[in-house]
Amino acid sequence: MAAMPAPHPPIPELPDDDFFEEAPAAAPKPDVSEPDTSEPEVVEPERPTRIRLATPDEHDPDLIEDREALARFAEHVAGCAEVAIDTEANSMFVYQEQTCIMQITAGARSAIVDVLAVEDLTSIRDAVDRSDVEIVLHGGDYDVTVLTRDHDFRFDRVFDTMIAATLLGDDRLGLAALVEDHFDHKLNKRFQRADWGRRPLTPDQLDYLRRDTMYLPALRAHYAERLAEADLVEEATIEFRRIASRQGTPRAMDPEGWRRIKGSGRLDARGRSILRELYLWRETQAEKRNVPPFKVFPPKAMLELAERCKQEPRSARDLPGVSEGYRRRLGTVLQATIRRAFAADAAGNAPAKSGKPKLSSEAARAARTQRKREDLLRAWRRDEAKRRDVPTMVVLPNPGLVWMASECPTSVEDLGAREDLGPKRVERYGARWIKLLG
């Protein structure tokens, strides 16, 4: 049995001066979708998507910056059967992301809620926590994740226009693209990468926010009609239910997260020790200062140090791949961190090549069998989607595919108990699936 690693000594502090480099351009909202919403095998048949819709009535949203104003707007929302919601967060600028803005359209009225100013969203949360209201979203996995995580929202029924467009095989899925295709209007996307945690909000930012939910009710009506015409209501309902059931959780430091850095798998034992120590140091500092880890030290530099550092550095000049600016600001800290890695390696406490426990021969055979089943189902799904001229998720969504490959059901009745397959799919393909798995 391998020796347990020795407890870590205190992780060195960073210099007190402002050492952070300029952050790279922030990405749009992180993709928190499950694999079945963006599959590599999706067949996207050519079909007309530029159906012009009547432009919604333009109206100026209320800017809500206090709890009383939100409560008044929530009274209006509580009487609406359909509520469109969007959110903006600050994931690329802090360690612990938070909901910063909430946009709402309900009953021909809209609001831009400054969540950081209001803080308590209880009134609007209660107004939409009803079984008789449908929440309209676009790419709503993210919105549901941040609202359930930060403000305890619950969602019963949702309609996601991006999921609908995906199921229908449309070739453009972003909200700006759909608005341009269907309303011949270009949404302002200048602030898509903005830091929404900064205040005050500028007039240009408010202009960016004002139409984000205004078009969703009309898009929802359009896609609901198309889903019905294509006989895809059941498939869409399954995906909408999956989104509604999401529950966000706060970010927590994963001690094994260094393994997800591209290139970590090719490192030797000493390189793995260096990368692990650098990663743990970086995460600790990022959490303490509430900044994204990449602003403490970039992963590319971490990997280069892990690959090229073959002896303990005696000075900052012995840190390969580290820019002069980082050497000047972090040289002492990096040297101490790498020394800990060398000590761990020398003591036989380098991390294993794989973070997964070694499987027994029986478990390894079962894993190989499951992979073969998955490959078989994916190949069949790809061919069937091509035959029907539909996206692969229409034929079989990923959660259902993985479940079948893992559990290997032996009867159509077993398939029928799986909610993410749906009665229509089971009736159409159940016997074929059982035959394939057998």
- 280-302 pLDDT, tens digit per residue, is 999 999 999 999 999 999 999 99
Given 198, 220, 244, the domain boundary residue is 244
- pLDDT at residue 8, rounded to an integer: 52
Is the residue at 9 inside a domain? no
- pTM (predicted TM-score): 0.85
Is the residue at 42 inside a domain? yes
In which residue ranges of the chain is pLDDT below 70? 1-49
Q: Which of 281, 273, 279 is nearest to 346 (CA)?
A: 273
- pLDDT at residue 12, rounded to an integer: 58
Given 214, 244, 274, the domain boundary residue is 244
Q: What is the rounded distance in angstroms from the CA atom of residue 13 to the CA atom of residue 135?
A: 46
Range(s) of the domain holding residue 308: 257-346
Per the structure, how many domains does the chain have? 3
CATH of the domain at 370: 1.10.150.80
**Pair (138, 170) in one structural domain:** yes
**Pair (183, 80) in one structural domain:** yes
- pLDDT at residue 10, rounded to an integer: 55
Is the residue at 25 inside a domain? no
Copy the structure tokens of residue 42: 């999706």
Is the residue at 39 inside a domain? yes
- pLDDT at residue 189, rounded to an integer: 81
**Pair (87, 158) in one structural domain:** yes
Q: What is the rounded distance in angstroms from the CA atom of residue 167 to the CA atom of residue 160?
A: 11
Is the residue at 323 inside a domain? yes
- pLDDT at residue 354, rounded to an integer: 87
**Pair (80, 228) in one structural domain:** yes
Is the residue at 13 inside a domain? no
Enter the DSSP assignment of 200.
Answer: S
CATH of the domain at 112: 3.30.420.10
**Pair (329, 240) in one structural domain:** no
- pLDDT at residue 5, rounded to an integer: 46
Q: Which residues contact 175 (CB under 8 A, 6 or more apart)?
A: 138, 139, 161, 162, 187, 212, 215
- pLDDT at residue 423, rounded to an integer: 96
Copy the structure tokens of residue 438: 């057998």
**Pair (45, 183) in one structural domain:** yes
**Pair (285, 310) in one structural domain:** yes
Is the residue at 381 inside a domain? yes
**Pair (272, 133) in one structural domain:** no
Given 346, 380, 397, the domain boundary residue is 346
**Pair (282, 160) in one structural domain:** no
Contact 339, 312 (CB under 8 A): yes
**Pair (201, 289) in one structural domain:** no
**Pair (369, 339) in one structural domain:** no
**Pair (199, 337) in one structural domain:** no
Contact 85, 136 (CB under 8 A): yes
Q: What is the rounded distance in angstroms from the CA atom of residue 235 to the CA atom of residue 387?
A: 18
Count of Cβ atoms closer than 10 Å to residue 338 Cβ? 24
Is the residue at 26 inside a domain? no
- pLDDT at residue 150, rounded to an integer: 97
